[in-house]
Amino acid sequence: MTHEEALGLFRDADALLDGHFLLSSGLHSAQYLEKFRLLERPSVFEPACDALVELLMSFDADFVLGPTTAGIILAYCVARRLGIEARYAEPATKGRALRRGQVLPAGSRVMIVDDILTTGLSLRECIEVVTSHGATVEGIGVLADRSGGTVEFGAPLRALLTLHIPVYRPDECPMCRAGIPLTQRGSRAHS
């Protein structure tokens, strides 16, 4: 899948929104990726997952690890296609952890997947989970990297779609200055 095809997929699903958005970080942006437009439509999500699996084929992994919430669905789909098992990194007192009796054997090779890469916090927490079990990170795959490829993990990163979406402090935001109404999005918003 080319960058244009991936972009078309996000656009067709209304997962890439244009406007003026208040992000969970408190910053503003002119574009917003709403992953749930993909996750709620198997007809869109499954082809995206297939295309991501193509990018992850070169990683030789025993397990696929994904962070809650959407990372669970993606990790499961990738694991099913690769014929390996999935593990899920859930929020813990500090960072993330495997819970509910999930095990990751020492020495196992793990690929980490997530939907949208913004700051990389969730993925870094997943890397911590892998290394804390004595396992190794073979690579990382995301449906969309909205950092424009600026986040470094010390492991190879593959993204179906790479976008650089500028963010602004409210006092420097050109959309605020233009008087465009602000929409609150993100997991901490109520919309």
The contact set with Zn ion (CB under 5 A) reads 28, 173, 175-176
Q: Can you tell me the distance from the alpha carbon of 90 to that of 96, in angstroms, rounded to the nearest whole number? A: 5
Name beta bridge partners: 72: none
Question: Minimum distance between the CB of residue 133 and Zn ion, rounded to whole angstroms?
Answer: 42
Question: Minimum distance between the CB of residue 171 and Zn ion, rounded to whole angstroms?
Answer: 9
Q: Which is nearer to Zn ion, 30 or 72 (CB)?
A: 30
Question: Minimum distance between the CB of residue 6 and Zn ion, rounded to whole angstroms?
Answer: 27
Q: Which is nearer to Zn ion, 1 or 17 (CB)?
A: 17
Q: Which is nearer to Zn ion, 155 or 175 (CB)?
A: 175
CB 112 within 8 A of CB 52: no
Q: Which is nearer to Zn ion, 28 or 87 (CB)?
A: 28
Question: Minimum distance between the CB of residue 176 and Zn ion, rounded to whole angstroms?
Answer: 3
Q: Which of 117, 69, 110, 118 has the alpha carbon at shortest distance from 89?
A: 69
Using CB positions, name the residue nearest to Zn ion.
173
Question: Minimum distance between the CB of residue 52 and Zn ion, rounded to whole angstroms?
Answer: 32
Instruction: Write the DSSP assignment of 62-99 as a string of letters.
Output: SEEEEETTHHHHHHHHHHHHHT-EEEEEEE-SSSEEE-
Q: Can you tell me the distance from the alpha carbon of 51 to that of 36, in angstroms, rounded to the nearest whole number? A: 18
> How is residue 147 annotated by DSSP?
B
Q: Which is nearer to Zn ion, 26 or 149 (CB)?
A: 26
Question: Minimum distance between the CB of residue 168 and Zn ion, rounded to whole angstroms?
Answer: 6
Q: Can you tell me the distance from the alpha carbon of 183 to that of 106, in angstroms, rounded to the nearest whole number? A: 45
Q: Which is nearer to Zn ion, 84 or 176 (CB)?
A: 176
Q: How many CB atoms neighbour CB 107 within 10 A?
A: 10
